[in-house]
Amino acid sequence: MFYYLFSKLNGVNFFPYYVVTPNIYAIGTASETLLDVYYKTNKKVLIIKTSLFSNLLGYKVCNHSFFDKIYKEKFDLNIFDRIFKLIFRILIEFEFILRRSFLLIMKNLFKKILNEEMGFPGIGVRDLYNTERYKHNNFHNQNYKSIKKFYKKKHFNVELKIDDTKLDQYELIKKLNNKKYVCIHVRNTNYRKDKNRRSYRNSKIHNYLTTIKFLIAEGYYVIRLGDTQADKINYSHKRFIDHGKSRFSGGIMDLYLIKNSSFLICTQSGIYDTARLFQKPILITNMVSLFCGPVASENSRGIFKTIKLNGKKLNIKNYTNLPFYDYLSDYTNARDIQMIENTPQEIKKATKEFLNLIQTNNFKLNNKQKKLNLFLQKKLEHIYNNKIRMKNKSKSDLTQRQSLKMVSRFKNYKGSFTNSYLNN
pLDDT tens digits, one per residue of 281-304: 999 999 999 988 788 889 999 999
- Cα distance between residue 174 and residue 170, in whole Å: 6
Q: In sequence order, which residues have a C-beta less than 8 Å from that of residue 297 and are 6 or more positions away?
A: 276, 279, 281, 282, 414, 415
Q: Are residues 181 and 110 in the same domain?
A: no
For residues 124 and 182, state if they share a domain: no
The C-alpha atoms of residue 250 and residue 227 are separated, in whole angstroms, by: 7
**Do 111 and 177 reside in the same domain of the chain?**
no
* Residue 246 domain flag: yes
Question: Do 191 and 115 share a structural domain?
Answer: no
User: Does residue 93 share a domain with residue 165?
Assistant: no
Split at pLDDT 50, 70, 90, the class of 180 is very high
Q: Do both 123 and 172 map to the same domain?
A: no
Q: Which pLDDT does position 138 carry in this prediction?
A: 62
- Beta-bridged to residue 301, according to DSSP, are 283, 416
* For residue 264, pLDDT beyond 70: yes
CB 216 within 8 A of CB 242: no
Strands 312-314 and 306-309: antiparallel
Which pLDDT value is given to residue 171? 84
- Which residues sit opposite 304 in a β-bridge? 287
> Does some domain include residue 54?
yes
In angstroms, the CA 92 to CA 82 distance is 15
> Mean per-residue pLDDT for 51-76?
86
Query: How many structural domains is the chain composed of?
Result: 2
Shared-domain flag, residues 44 and 124: yes
Domain end point (choices 322, 340, 358):
358
Query: H or E element: which one contains 255?
Result: helix 252-259
Residue count (the chain)? 424
Is residue 414, in this structure, part of any structural domain at all? no
Please report, for residues 18, 75, 111, 279, the alpha-carbon distance to residue 187 in angstroms, rounded to integers and kept in the order given.
32, 33, 32, 21
CA distance 298 to 258: 18
* Neighbouring C-alpha atoms within 13 Å toward the C-beta of 287: 26
pLDDT band at 306 (very low <50, low <70, confident <90, very high): very high
Q: Give a yes or no: residue 389 inside a domain.
A: no
Relative orientation angle of helices 397-410 and 367-383, to the nearest 10 degrees: 160
Do 29 and 168 sit in the same domain of this protein?
no
276: Cβ–Cβ under 8 A, 6 or more apart, which residues? Answer: 31, 32, 35, 282, 296, 297
Within a domain: residue 380?
A: no
Quick: pLDDT tens for 210-219.
Answer: 999 999 999 9
Question: In the beta sheet, which residues pair with residue 156?
Answer: none
For residues 123 and 201, membership in a common domain is answered with no
> How far apart are the C-alpha atoms of 422 and 420, rounded to whole Å?
6
Torsion sign, CA atoms 123, 126, 131, 136: negative
* pLDDT at res. 153: 62
Quick check: 318 pLDDT over 90?
yes
- Strands of the sheet with 306-309, listed across from one edge: 312-314, 306-309, 337-340
Claim to verify: residue 50 and residue 166 sit in the same structural domain: no
Q: Which domain holds residue 327?
A: 161-358
* Residue 148 pLDDT > 70: yes
Is the model's pLDDT at 8 over the cut of 80? Answer: yes
Mean pLDDT of the chain: 86
Q: Does residue 208 surpass a pLDDT of 90?
A: yes
Say if residue 122 is in the same domain as residue 243: no
**One domain for residues 181 and 265:** yes
